[in-house]
Chain A
Amino acid sequence: MALTPQKRQKMEKVIYDTFSALDKTGTNTKHYKEMFSQMSDLQFDKFFKELFSDPSLYLILNVCDYEIDLRIDDIEDAAKVLSIPLFERIAFPHYTKDKNNVVVSAEPVPVGYCHIKRTQQTLAKKNGLSTTSDMRSAMTGQVTGSDKNGKESDLENSMLISLGMLDVLKELNGPRADDLVMKQQMLTSIGTKGYVSLEELDNDPANKTTLNTVNTYLLGMGLNSDLVTKGLMLKKTIDEEA
């Protein structure tokens, strides 16, 4: 539809009334009046056709802190000019997933655009997930590097002890930690039967990498340790001499 003088007048009125509601100093209204007064009907038509063709374009409200402020009352006034409700009852189709019974909010709620930017922290720092437990420290047998997030710390262990979850501790600190013999037995059992029980796994202190490392350090320092064996010899030495 071609732009008529009446239509242009009507459009300009909506724009000026809206900006006058948003900016009580009249600075914005003055700015747009000056801008449009210099446009011919053809230029005006072209300007708005371009503006309406791109959803990301809009008429900008110029705000200057402590000079041209924007308050909620101004937004309400402008919404009245444009007949836009700021509060509406909204539907939540995802609640029931039932197309015949879509939940509607009990009361009208504030509606508007909410710009949510995915932050770097959400993207990179809190989104870690390991699908394997292959990266392990040779010294402790614990998962490390990219698989580090599969590790539980002393705090988790303390809390599990506090809750009396001894079997969970045995699992997390055995086949799912540094006991690679138990781990292999666990995977084999799951692969063949589809399940595994802690009782069927060989729970031998000699297979606990961390325990043996600490035991070796303690004996190396001349400190008596019964973490793996009694006496002052390493399990490996006892086995070799047997």
Chain B
Amino acid sequence: MKISNDDKKYLLSLTPEDLDFSTLVHIFGSTININDNISKASTPNFRTTDEMTLSPSEYFVKEVTNTTVGRFIWNKYLIERVGLQDVTGYINFVIDDKANGKIEAIITKGLIDDKVTVEQFHKYVDYRDTLGMQLNSVITTSFTPLTIKTPPEIQKRKAELFKQYKKELDNGDIIVSERIEKELTSRTKEIFKGDPGMDLYNSGARGNFGNYKNMNLFKGATANNVTGKFDIVRSSFMDGISKQDIPSFATAVVSGAYPKAVGTQESGYMTKQLLAAFQSEVLDEAGTDCGTKSTLDITLTNRNSKDFLYRYIVDGGKYVCLTPQVIDKYVGKTVKLRSPMMCKGKKYCNICAGEMNYKLGNLNIGLGCAKISTTLQRLGMKKFHISNLASNKIDQNDMFI
């Protein structure tokens, strides 16, 4: 619904500092007096999906822009408050987990390019978390009557598919299981489209539709270490676990809980091992140059060029730093890259290591190795909650470079 001019005037009059939790509740919340019956709850003054139009004379948009109240408040609360207008511009798309990653990649790039200060970045993270953690309970919900159950048409289709592919499922055919999983999942999502209960899944903030699949559709393929094959579990938690599926569920419990319990220890120990091995990998002072004449021949492409940002190459006997401004000039060419692999310094010199870590203020690069073990740990922990199946086709020609 399009908001009135008076409403727009009110929203534009707000400063980021005005947007404390009480004001946000006043804008988006439904409230009552503590002595009133819940049926007397007020209607929110605005919905996040209410529409409005902004012009460049009114706000930092480049042209007349149709947007929503939710996006306007988000921009005001975060982008305007932190002063990131020139870096991100007005954000005018659905802000879910993926979009959030995209926006933060822009801000991170701004940080590296000295367009965003560390203080601004800290402020962004602080206010992002305050907004996200507080307001979600005011404007959205978790489970709804629709999403808590399995739609009857899905139950019917599930039974049909299980009957049709009984032989394949009995033989543990994971490709067929995955196909059924995909069909039931996408049909269910179609039925739930527009229901507030999908906010939880669509936002990407918490919950994964894999949880819904296990809970309401069917658990699917579970590795059986005894047979070395997959069991296709056709029960869901809502159906109740059938007698024949009990052993497979028990196996799944172990395969989920083991990485969380023992895997945590293993990745913790791996972190210590990696840190012990890499702690001496440090960068020398800024401006240092070991003077090595050895370089690596690297062909820069559109795909890999971002991996070499702020590294040094030797071009015509001179050092060239691959900044965002010059790197495109070298795409499609084979360059002579200075690399830590050839560094003669006691510590890695600035020219061999490039500028990136100096810009990030991190000279102890070896200590970043903990990322490897924490990523493995996170994947193990995730297994406790969901076990989706994914298969890919591999073209054998892709295996040869």
Residues of A at the B interface (CB closer than 8 Å) are 66, 69, 71-73, 86-93, 95-96, 98-110, 154-155, 158-159, 161-164
Contact = CB atoms under 8 A, between A and B. Distances in A.
A158 B370 contact: yes
Contacts of B26: 101
B39 to A, nearest CB: 8
B137 A103 contact: yes
Contacts of A95: 21, 25, 137-138
Given A95-B138, A96-B25, A106 B367 contact: no
B38 A88 contact: yes
Contact of A104 (B22, B31, B271): B31
A163 to B, nearest CB: 8
B272 A110 contact: no
Interface of B: 21-22, 25-26, 29-35, 38, 41, 44, 137-145, 148-149, 196-197, 238, 240, 243, 271-272, 275, 279, 361-364, 367-368, 370
Contact of A164 (B139, B148, B196, B362): B362
A63 to B, nearest CB: 11
B14 to A, nearest CB: 18
A102 B272 contact: no
29 contacts: A71-B238, A71-B240, A86-B145, A87-B144, A88-B38, A89-B30, A89-B38, A90-B38, A91-B32, A95-B25, A96-B21, A96-B25, A98-B22, A100-B33, A100-B34, A101-B25, A101-B31, A102-B32, A103-B31, A104-B31, A104-B38, A106-B141, A107-B141, A107-B144, A107-B196, A107-B197, A109-B143, A162-B362, A162-B368
Dominant secondary structure of chain A at its interface with chain B: mixed
Nearest to A73: B149
A102 B34 contact: yes
Nearest to A100: B33
User: Which 3 pairs from chain A and chain B are nearest by CB?
Assistant: A162-B367, A107-B141, A104-B41
A114 B112 CA distance: 48
Contact of A92 (B137, B144, B240): B137
B142 A106 contact: no
Given A91-B38, A95-B137, A158 B196 contact: no
A86 B40 CA distance: 19
Nearest to B140: A106
Nearest to B275: A158
A99 B34 contact: yes
A235 to B, nearest CB: 27
Contact of B145 (A87, A93, A98, A154): A87
Residue from the set B140, B141, B148 with the largest chain A CB neighbour count within 10 Å: B141
A33 to B, nearest CB: 27
Contacts of A154: 272, 275
B26 to A, nearest CB: 8
A99 B31 CA distance: 10
A22 B140 CA distance: 32
A185 to B, nearest CB: 30
B137 A93 contact: no
A100 B31 CA distance: 8
Contact of B272 (A104, A105, A155, A164): A155
Contacts of A100: 31, 33-34
A155 B279 CA distance: 11
Contact of B139 (A106, A109, A163): A106
Nearest to B278: A158
Given A91-B32, A96-B22, A104-B30, 16 more contacts: A66-B243, A72-B149, A86-B145, A89-B30, A91-B34, A96-B21, A101-B26, A101-B31, A103-B138, A104-B32, A104-B38, A106-B30, A107-B197, A109-B144, A155-B272, A158-B370
A164 to B, nearest CB: 6
B234 to A, nearest CB: 16
Contacts of A92: 137
A166 to B, nearest CB: 11
B367 A109 contact: no
